[in-house]
Structure 1
């Protein structure tokens, strides 16, 4: 009986040992950032985007990527087709039914033209970089590493980025 108890306990503990991304709204992230400064990571998605869902399940739930996100960022999932009212540092972005675009005005403000898309903001909510399209965990890992290590401040040219990528050693196994 004790053996079964420990086996069940081990299975439960192993499920909880993996980092999971706990998504926030942009408002929650901005409030949290005021109390404890951290970078913000925004994943722009759409409610009926299969590619976005696949990326969320395979990329952001990768244990290594999920751990990096959870420890270093306030993660925000923003639906570009939502009717959510967004207050971004005093600027209000509201969905208006009269708009011909299917993109939320906040997404447009952040220069998002399609999903999936990712935006990294520094501790003052200034943009660091953005990534467009479906990306694997291995694709995004160098970006997360560069941003969490502050190396993005030293990379100014394409050549410097290429050098960084060449030297980068992934922790994600194929």
Structure 2
């Protein structure tokens, strides 16, 4: 009896392990390809796309909730990675950033985009002009709807 129980447990263990190895979709988690603002700017020069900037702070609870719930949604990840350049911008960072020959900071960029609260998503056109900042937490469905509307923006 002990030998057959051990055999069954061993066989089940091998089956479960094989299931994860043979089906990587279950173990692989989709993630947004986050860029710095300078990386997005450079990439946009070669292959223009709309950009969305997640303006956050380290202490912002709603920012962390968006990271956990909204930005991890597989449909959101697909839309963002296929059609946008996604940027994370810490609004309290004062380290120098050089872009297009100018030196600035993330804090100054956030202010220039009209960000006054966190989280705020700022949408930018292919010519790097701001479309609109959207303040506040957005669940995955609302965020997907907004992304689709932004894609239609000329």
TM value normalised by structure 1: 0.73
Match in the other structure for 1:15: 27
Tell me if the contact between 1:29 and 1:40 (Cα under 8 Å) persists in the aligned partners.
Answer: yes
RMSD in angstroms over aligned alpha carbons? 2.0
Unmatched runs of 5 consecutive residues or more in structure 1: 96-103, 154-174
| Deviation at residue 26 of structure 1 after TM alignment | 0.3
Query: In the TM superposition, what are the counterparts of 1:36-75 in structure 2 within 5 Å?
Result: 36-75=47-86
Structure (1 or 2) with the greater strand fraction: 2
Aligned to 1:127: 130
Q: Which consecutive unaligned segments of at least 5 residues does structure 2 have?
A: 1-10
Structure 2 counterpart SS, 1:19:
coil
Question: How far apart are 1:31 and its partner, in Å?
Answer: 0.8
* Change in CA separation of 1:11 and 1:84 when aligned onto 2, cut-off 3 Å: farther
Deviations 1:77-126 (A, max 9, x none): 0001112322343332248xxxxxxxx11111111111100011111111
Q: Is the 8 A contact 2:20 2:26 kept in 1?
A: no
Decide whether the 8 Å contact of 1:86 with 1:106 is kept in 2: no
Q: Which residue of 2 aligns with 1:114?
A: 117
- Counterpart mapping for 1:136-155 below 5 A: 136-148=139-151, 150=152, 152-153=153-154
Alpha-carbon distance, 1:10 to partner? 3.9
2:46 corresponds, among 25, 35, 50, to: 35
2:93 equivalent in structure 1:
82
Q: Indicate the SS of the match to 1:119.
A: strand
Structure with a larger share of its residues in helix: 2
The aligned counterpart of 1:161 is none
Q: Distance in 1 between matches of 2:109 and 2:71?
A: 22
